[in-house]
Structure formats: structure tokens, C-alpha cells
């Protein structure tokens, strides 16, 4: 029987809300050397204090999405065979990716080229050059939609493992249930492979989100995906264990975050790598712990937002870039700009979703929605 865990949907919606706030924050934050990627355009006044909360959120916001995706895969495969699952992944990931590459991402690159001063034509005159080379030297990019090809390739690679784990009587699943029944602290075991990846790959393969030579990010998120699938496949013992460790994981997460803050600097790079996976996984456990305790409730708001979250994800960053482009040089306090960008991003995304995307059958699959 297909199980529905409403806290998963709430967490998915909330984390994507955090993503929108985070992307708006990128327009205003003044980064340090701790990050490897930034927005190509910035507000005329940048704010230093945003770096601390954004670096904290950065530790877990992407890993938890892959954990949620792994859990969703476990529930999906409960009612599908391998072929049906692959068909669903193609329709839900590859089709929206193509839509994004051809329709959603080009305005982002166009506005970046305008700011750089390398383009001085209309968007329609610029559009044919979208296919001239790959970003950043060229213009063809999947931008913020990198999550979709990564998740698609991971899903294909892990499918044989997933099909094996879902079989009745699988020994690994039985062993996992036994461990969690002994102690919920075994939920911290995924920290071990994450730590190995952090120590062996992080310094050698900086984040690119371009798939090529992105072994660190791909491996780290792949472990999160598999861990999510495995934990969801264990069933009720997992959700009960999440609740039991919620305060422990909160305490460990606070300590690990303080340790990272105190160790920030090149002289302590090894110790930072040692603490990061524990920090990431502790906050993921904490979020699922409190979510399983308080958010496993169905509501009409959740149903609506859970359906809207995918189109919002596809659309939001282009809207942020456009609003930022309009506001960046205006003599206006940065707080007002933030408010305008947040309200504008949610408002425009909602209008496009509610009155166009969800009502036109041809557009629904392009933005990850099922055809009615």
C-alpha cells in the first residue's frame, strides 16, 4: 500500500521557500572566500550580516532536498515497476529541464550579458545566440535547474539498488530496522560515507553544478538520495526514530555549527571538513524529527502548495534576476528592495502558475505537473 507522509510534503515546500529567500539574499550578500559561486549581478549596496545565516542554510538546504527525493522514490516505487518509474522520471525531470533550458534560463543569461556590457540588443535578437557555446563562456545553460539532471542521473544509477531494496525480505532492510529498534542514534550512520566523500573529494573537485568534474557534489548528494530511500523503506521505525532524536540532533547541530564558525579559516581546513558532514546530517535529522512530530497533517494549503512548488522552483530565479536587474542601481534602501523582490517573486510565480500553467494542458508537463 502506498504511504503518504505529509511532513515530507511540508518539508519539501518549506525548503523551497527557503531557497527563494536564499536566492534573493544572494543579490544583497557580500560573500567571503568561503563560497565558490555567486550571482553575476549585485545590488549597489551589499550587506555583510547576511553571510552568516546564508552560510548556515547552505550547509543543509540542498542535501535535504535529495533526502526528500530519495524518500519520495521509495513511496513511488511501492506502486510502480522499474519501467513505469523511469517513464515518470523522464516526464517529471527531463521534460521540465528542456523547457527550462529553452524558455526560462535564456533571459537570465541575457540580463547577465547586458550587465557585463557584452550585449546591446533586444532579447529576441539575442535569443539565437543562446545556443552558441556552453556557459559561462557561451550562453547555453541549465542555470538553477542543475538539480534536475543531477537527480535524473542519480535515479537511473540507483534504480537497480532501489529495486533490490524494495523486495520483501531484503536482508539489508531487515538489518536496518533491527538497528533502529535498538537505538535511534543509528540514524547518524550516513555521516560516515558523507565524511569519506568530504575528506577525499571536496578539495579536489570544487562545486561547478555543470556535472562535468563535479564528483564531490554528485557523490555527496547521491549518498543523501540513497539514504533517503533506505530510511523511507524501513517504514514506521524511521519516523518514530526521527522523533526520538530530534533534540539530540538539534543539540549536535548547534554544537557543529558553532564549531564551524569558530574554525572558519584556511588554517583549520581539515577540521572544517571533519565537522561539516556531521553538521549537515544533524540538521537534516532535526528537521525531520520536528517535522515528524508536528507536521504530519494534511491540509488544503499543503495540497495546493505541494502541487505549485515545482513550477515555482522552475520560474522563481528568472523572476529574481529580472527584478534585481530593475532594482540594482536605484537609490532605495536595500530592505525595500528585498521586500519588493520577495513579494514580486512569489506574486509573479503564483500568477503564472494559477492562471496559465495549471490551466493549459500543454504547459502542465513542461513545468512538472501531471496532465489532467
Residue pLDDT, tens place only, 197-229: 999 999 999 888 889 899 999 999 999 999 999
Q: Is residue 319's pLDDT more than 60?
A: yes
- Residue 12 inside a domain? The answer is no
Peptide bond into 278 cis (omega under 30): no
- Residue 278 inside a domain? The answer is yes
pLDDT band at 359 (very low <50, low <70, confident <90, very high): very high
pTM: 0.95
Q: Kindly give, in sequence order, each residue whose CB lies less than 8 Å from that of residue 98, ignoring residues fewer than 6 positions away.
A: none
More confident residue, 101 or 30: 101
- Residue 342 inside a domain? The answer is no
Residue 356: φ, ψ to 5°: -125, -65
User: Average pLDDT, whole number, for the chain?
Assistant: 94
367, 63, 341, 47: which is closest to 197 by C-alpha?
Answer: 63
Q: Is residue 1's pLDDT more than 50?
A: no
- Residue 256 inside a domain? The answer is yes
Q: Please tell me the distance from the alpha carbon of residue 161 to that of residue 73, in angstroms, as a whole number.
A: 12
How many structural domains are present in the chain?
A: 1
Q: Are 258 and 212 in contact (CB under 8 A)?
A: no
- Residue 207 inside a domain? The answer is yes
Q: Which residues span the domain enclosing 212?
A: 166-297
pLDDT tens digits, one per residue of 75-111: 999 888 999 999 999 999 999 999 999 999 999 999 9
DSSP 217: H
More confident residue, 349 or 4: 349
- Residue 9 inside a domain? The answer is no
Q: Is residue 230's pLDDT more than 90?
A: yes
- Residue 46 inside a domain? The answer is no
Q: Are 260 and 279 in contact (CB under 8 A)?
A: yes
- Residue 37 inside a domain? The answer is no
Percent with pLDDT over 70 in the chain: 97
Q: Are 229 and 70 in contact (CB under 8 A)?
A: yes
286 to each of 173, 188, 281, 289, 328, how far by Cα in Å?
A: 23, 11, 8, 5, 37
Amino acid at each position: 500500500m502506498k504511504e503518504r507522509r505529509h511532513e515530507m510534503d511540508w518539508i519539501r515546500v518549506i525548503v523551497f521557500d527557503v531557497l527563494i529567500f536564499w536566492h534573493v539574499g544572494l543579490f544583497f550578500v557580500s560573500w567571503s572566500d568561503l563560497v565558490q559561486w555567486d550571482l553575476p549581478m549585485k545590488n549597489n549596496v551589499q550587506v555583510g550580516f547576511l553571510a552568516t545565516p546564508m552560510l548556515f542554510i547552505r550547509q543543509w538546504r540542498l542535501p535535504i532536498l535529495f533526502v526528500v527525493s530519495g524518500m519520495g522514490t521509495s513511496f513511488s516505487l511501492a506502486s510502480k515497476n522499474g519501467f513505469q518509474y523511469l517513464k515518470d522520471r523522464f516526464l517529471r525531470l527531463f521534460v521540465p529541464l528542456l523547457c527550462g533550458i529553452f524558455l526560462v534560463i535564456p533571459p537570465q543569461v541575457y540580463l547577465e550579458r547586458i550587465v557585463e556590457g557584452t550585449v546591446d540588443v533586444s532579447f529576441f535578437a539575442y535569443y539565437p545566440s543562446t545556443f552558441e557555446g556552453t556557459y559561462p563562456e557561451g550562453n547555453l545553460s541549465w542555470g538553477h535547474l542543475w538539480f534536475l539532471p543531477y537527480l535524473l542521473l542519480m535515479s537511473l544509477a540507483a534504480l537497480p539498488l532501489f529495486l533490490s531494496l524494495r523486495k520483501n525480505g531484503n536482508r539489508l532492510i531487515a538489518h536496518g530496522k533491527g538497528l533502529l529498534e535498538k537505538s535511534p542514534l543509528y540514524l547518524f550512520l550516513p555521516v560516515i560515507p558523507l565524511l569519506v566523500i568530504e575528506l577525499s573529494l571536496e578539495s579536489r573537485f570544487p562545486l561547478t553544478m555543470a556535472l562535468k568534474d563535479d564528483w564531490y557534489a554528485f557523490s555527496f548528494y547521491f549518498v543523501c538520495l540513497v539514504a533517503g530511500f533506505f530510511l523511507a523503506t524501513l517504514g514506521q521505525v524511521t519516523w518514530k526514530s526521527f522523533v526520538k532524536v530530534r533534540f539530540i540532533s538539534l543539540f549536535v547541530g548547534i554544537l557543529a555549527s558553532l564549531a564551524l564558525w569558530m574554525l572558519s579559516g584556511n588554517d583549520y581546513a581539515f577540521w572544517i571538513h571533519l565537522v561539516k558532514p556531521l553538521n549537515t546530517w544533524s540538521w537534516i535529522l532535526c528537521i525531520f524529527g520536528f517535522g515528524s512530530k508536528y507536521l504530519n497533517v494534511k491540509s488544503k494549503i499543503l495540497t495546493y502548495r505541494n502541487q505549485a512548488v515545482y513550477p515555482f522552483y522552475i520560474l522563481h530565479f528568472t523572476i529574481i534576476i529580472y527584478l534585481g536587474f530593475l532594482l540594482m542601481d536605484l537609490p532605495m534602501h536595500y530592505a525595500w528592495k528585498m521586500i519588493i523582490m520577495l513579494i514580486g517573486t512569489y506574486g509573479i510565480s503564483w500568477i503564472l502558475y494559477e492562471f496559465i500553467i495549471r490551466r493549459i494542458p500543454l504547459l502542465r508537463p513542461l513545468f512538472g505537473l501531471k496532465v489532467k
